[in-house]
């Protein structure tokens, strides 16, 4: 079978060659394409000599046990390295031929005299027929051509349909194409609620409890030109008069609550973790950057790390370091989902809050 990275290894290729009749036609052709991803696909614009494999048809007058008669691996030192697949169906000669047996008998008689020219002539048409047959089968089967990196034609068209440039280079914290397609039905909606955001985040973090709290109180700095200047501007009571440099606001921030989670997931959601940029990008795609999102991650009580010098677990200053032997309540950390993580400082939530 394929390896852990879903790439066929040498043992699979050997099995494919040695046990060719045991494979279905479509399965074998797909595997041979994955073996040589840099070569042209069969039935495409070509040229044919640069395609992954060459199709032939078995001319023998017998009833075959499978779709494939044999598969021949390319020889070392050959300029155009192609597999050869001999099929038992859809041929102009052989047991499945729609023509009379006279043409098949001529091919067999020529091969008995070591003359393979006539069979090679028929195989020119066989190669194109089977190539187009495979393309027709693959066209309406998404699983047959799907690639996890989003490079297949269907995924590229789907990404373009939802407003994503499939040819643009992905940033270090860009959302994977598969995740964008998963979220496409939600992102396409004109109105977006906290409920739909929860659904999107649960797809990103399966198995984790996720909630959204709207109208979170925050302090907003008043721009200098809008501050009070006695006798000059912004001095009308009940209109634009505000004391101080900051004002309380509940309309510009919401809070994403995640957890309880284990320690590994907790670290991954903190700034510098693996899931922090993905979570931030999903929220940004959803809110279009209009509102300020805040993340609250709850660490399960039994997962709370104990601080110990020399131990990396629980020794991250300002995040997991705590001078207690045992916590009776889950630990909660809050952090703003900002693009620039240099100035982002997680804050520990008090137990009585």
Q: What is the pLDDT along the chain (353 residues), one digit of tens a residue?
A: 454 444 555 778 888 899 999 999 999 999 998 888 888 889 888 788 889 999 999 999 988 889 999 999 887 755 567 899 999 999 999 998 999 999 999 999 999 999 999 999 999 999 999 999 999 999 888 888 888 777 788 888 888 877 777 777 766 666 777 777 888 888 777 788 889 899 889 988 888 999 999 999 988 888 888 888 777 776 777 777 777 788 888 988 999 999 899 988 988 898 888 889 889 988 988 887 788 999 999 988 887 766 666 666 655 665 666 666 566 678 888 998 887 777 777 887 876 66
The per-residue pLDDT for 255 is: 94
The per-residue pLDDT for 333 is: 87
The per-residue pLDDT for 90 is: 93
Query: Apex CA 294: angle with CA 165 and CA 278, to 5°?
Result: 35
The per-residue pLDDT for 159 is: 82
Q: What is the CA radius of gyration of the chain?
A: 32
Q: Give the tokens for residue 109.
A: 């008689």
The per-residue pLDDT for 1 is: 45
| Unique residue bearing structure tokens 């070509």 | 46
The per-residue pLDDT for 122 is: 96
Please spell the DSSP secondary structure of 134-170, one letter per residue. HHHHHHT-HHHH--TTS-SHHHHHHHHHTT--TTSPP
313 vs 305: CA distance, rounded Å: 7
Q: From start to end of 222-316, where are the E strands?
A: 246-249, 253-261, 292-299
128 vs 53: CA distance, rounded Å: 11
Residue of 126, 155, 142, 149 lying closest to 25 (CA atoms): 126
Dihedral through CA 44, CA 49, CA 53, CA 58, nearest 10? 110
């Amino acid at each position: 079978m394929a390896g852990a990275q879903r790439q066929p290894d040498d043992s699979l290729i050997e099995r494919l060659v040695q046990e060719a009749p045991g494979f279905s036609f479509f399965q074998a052709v797909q595997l041979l394409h994955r073996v040589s991803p840099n070569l042209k696909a069969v039935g495409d614009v070509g040229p044919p000599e640069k395609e992954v494999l060459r199709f032939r048809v078995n001319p023998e007058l017998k009833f075959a046990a499978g779709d494939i008669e044999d598969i021949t691996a390319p020889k070392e030192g050959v300029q155009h390295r192609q597999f050869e697949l001999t099929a038992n169906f859809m041929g102009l000669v052989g047991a499945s031929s729609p023509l009379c047996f006279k043409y098949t008998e001529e091919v067999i008689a020529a091969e008995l005299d070591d003359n393979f020219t006539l069979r090679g002539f028929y195989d020119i048409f066989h190669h194109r027929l089977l190539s187009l047959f495979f393309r027709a089968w693959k066209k309406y089967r998404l699983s047959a051509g799907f690639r996890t990196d989003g490079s297949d034609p269907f995924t590229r068209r789907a990404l373009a349909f939802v407003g994503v440039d499939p040819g643009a280079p992905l940033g270090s914290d860009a959302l994977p194409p598969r995740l964008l397609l998963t979220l496409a039905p939600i992102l396409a909606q004109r109105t977006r609620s906290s409920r739909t955001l929860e659904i999107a985040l649960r797809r990103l973090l399966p198995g984790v409890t996720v909630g959204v709290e709207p109208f979170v109180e925050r302090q907003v700095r008043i721009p200098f030109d809008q501050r009070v200047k006695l006798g000059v501007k912004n001095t009308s009571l009940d209109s634009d008069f505000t004391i101080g440099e900051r004002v309380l606001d509940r309309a510009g921030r919401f809070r994403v609550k995640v957890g309880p989670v284990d320690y590994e997931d907790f670290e991954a959601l903190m700034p510098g973790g693996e899931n922090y940029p993905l979570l931030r990008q999903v929220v940004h795609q959803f809110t279009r950057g209009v509102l300020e999102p805040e993340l609250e991650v709850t660490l399960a009580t039994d997962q709370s790390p104990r601080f110990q010098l020399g131990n990396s677990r629980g020794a991250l200053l300002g995040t997991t370091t705590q001078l207690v032997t045992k916590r009776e309540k889950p630990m909660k950390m809050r952090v703003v989902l900002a693009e620039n993580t240099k100035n982002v400082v997680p804050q520990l939530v008090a137990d009585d809050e």
